[in-house]
Amino acid sequence: MSQTFPNYINGEWVTGPTFENRNPANTDELVGLHVKGTAADIDAAAAAAEAAFPAWAGLTGPARGAFLYKAADLIEKRWDSIAADMTREEGKTLPEAKGEVGRTINILRYFAGEGSRMPGGVVPSERPRVHMWAFRKPLGVVGLITPWNFPSAIPAWKLAPALLCGNTVIMKPASVSPLSAWRIVEAFHDAGLPKGVFNFVCGSGGTLGAALINAKPVKAISFTGSCEIGHWVHAEASKRRMRIQLEMGGKNPTIVLADADFNSAVANVVNAAFFSTGQKCTATSRVIVEDAIYDKYVAALVEATKKLKVGDGIKPGVDIGPAIDEGQLKTNLDYIKIGQEEGAQLLCGGEHLTGTGPNGEDLSKGYYMQPAVFGGVTENMRIAQEEIFGPVLAVLRASDFADAMRIANNIPFGLSASIQTSNVSRVFDFVYGAEAGLLTVNLPSAGVEYQLPFGGTKDSSFGPKEQGPAAMEFYSDYKTVYLKY
């Protein structure tokens, strides 16, 4: 029988009716059963978190950080099994999953160390014999709504600073990949985290999201997901004047100039566009190529894309796994039709794969598509403007660097952007002119580290940044003191 994974409220495992979590690489495989939470569960979690807050906030930063260190150590011991679970529930390749678990461990340890470096400041007063300073204080109960594409790392990078700052937490993971986040809960439980500090409720996003926003003890909401849902979260949470943090969509460009290292520019775009099945908010979905090398570059890009092996990510030698579910696969295939109807040229890929995979797997049992490259794309086409969140790459032609920058910025999103060039002056023009929060130079557009702020501009983000020292800003507030002596 398949294992049932309960919710976690007030330090107790809570059972109830369940829903299935199936492997997108082989839907015959039941990964597990997860308890389907209700609005009442959210209310119970909020009450538990509120009750636990004073004692948790009263601990020192290093004392709170010690629990993060313990959880990280436990996850490290379970690294291989957690990574295998992630591949089975999300579809990404096993090497990618192992990398994400490693990142989760590093995030927890990074923020654990921040417990000894809680930001504050002492400044001199204009008045005699007045000592004044400011220090950070927690908000209270915070709600975390996490996505399915990085089901361990994103929960970790929200949870770790929230706990470290002294808040208590309610987490609602994505319903299609809850097990990876559940493993983090398990680690904190085994680390002896006090009851009520961290609560975890799976289930319907609409039902639980609304309940989380309406729960009176909840002071802040951090959300990562689609623009549509993010806008709804903002509208509803604003009614209660909650603190809000949103990370949403992207339509990320990579500019390739004629002076770039050619082979590296091809490899970087293939990596950013197609690894993780293109299911990254920072993935390159538009590559803007200078006219002088357009034909040569497109030919090489298509050749490299055709070599990618699509199959079950748990097996060796696979580059690209399945889409997360049937709905995402349909979206991908719909955009293939849209691109062709708009007049773009489908240069390779775009097929729904139902044959035999590279390791003999039956692809008809999963949600597989051959990575697609479109040429002849113009900047106002839907495939150049709308987020697809799949392995579909649009190639656009630019007359020169200035034209490439104009095209790159002509979108409503501003999450990540990349440039491939050997010209240092162009690098700095790009860095200061690109309308995006995350920039890479001669690297893939996707792939961030936890030590620096993460977040976008325009429609991609709202509120304080995540990760690095900036993460503390969202989960805490300043208290300022003036002392006469």
Supply the DSSP symbol for 3: P
- Rounded to a whole number of angstroms, the distance between the first and last alpha carbons of the chain is 69
Tokens coding 143: 């709600």
Tokens coding 9: 């409220």
Looking from the CA of 189 toward its CB, the CA atoms found within 13 Å total: 16
3-state SS assignment for residue 133: strand
Question: 423: how many CB neighbours lie within 10 A of its CB?
Answer: 15
Instruction: Pick the closest to residue 472 from 196, 59, 46, 61 (CA basis).
Output: 61
- Note the CATH number of domain 252-449: 3.40.309.10
Tokens 């549509």 found at: 228
Instruction: Pick the closest to residue 466 from 432, 437, 444 (CA basis).
Output: 437
Give tens-digit pLDDT for 473-484.
999 999 999 999
The percent of residues above 70 in pLDDT, for the chain, comes to 100
Instruction: Give Cβ neighbours of residue 120 (< 8 Å, ≥ 6 apart).
Output: 133, 134, 135, 136
Mean pLDDT (whole number) for 54-68: 97
What is the pLDDT at residue 277? 97
89 is a catalytic site residue: no
Of the listed 90, 114, 247, 387, which one is catalytic?
247
Domain with CATH 3.40.605.10 in the chain: 4-248+460-484
Of the listed 90, 186, 202, 281, which one is catalytic?
281
Tokens coding 230: 């993010």
Distance CA 328, CA 331 (A): 5
Q: Is the pTM of this model over 0.75?
A: yes
Supply the DSSP symbol for 352: B
281 is a catalytic site residue: yes
Distance CA 423, CA 200 (A): 49
Domain with CATH 3.40.309.10 in the chain: 252-449
Q: Is the pLDDT of residue 1 over 70?
A: no
Give tens-digit pLDDT for 438-465.
999 999 998 889 999 999 999 999 999 9
Distance CA 90, CA 83 (A): 10
Handedness of CA 203, 205, 207, 212 (dihedral sign): positive
Instruction: Pick the closest to residue 146 from 235, 209, 190 (CA basis).
Output: 209
CATH topology of domain 4-248+460-484: Aldehyde Dehydrogenase; Chain A, domain 1 (3.40.605)
Distance CA 50, CA 60 (A): 18
Give tens-digit pLDDT for 396-438.
999 999 999 999 999 999 999 999 999 999 999 999 999 999 9
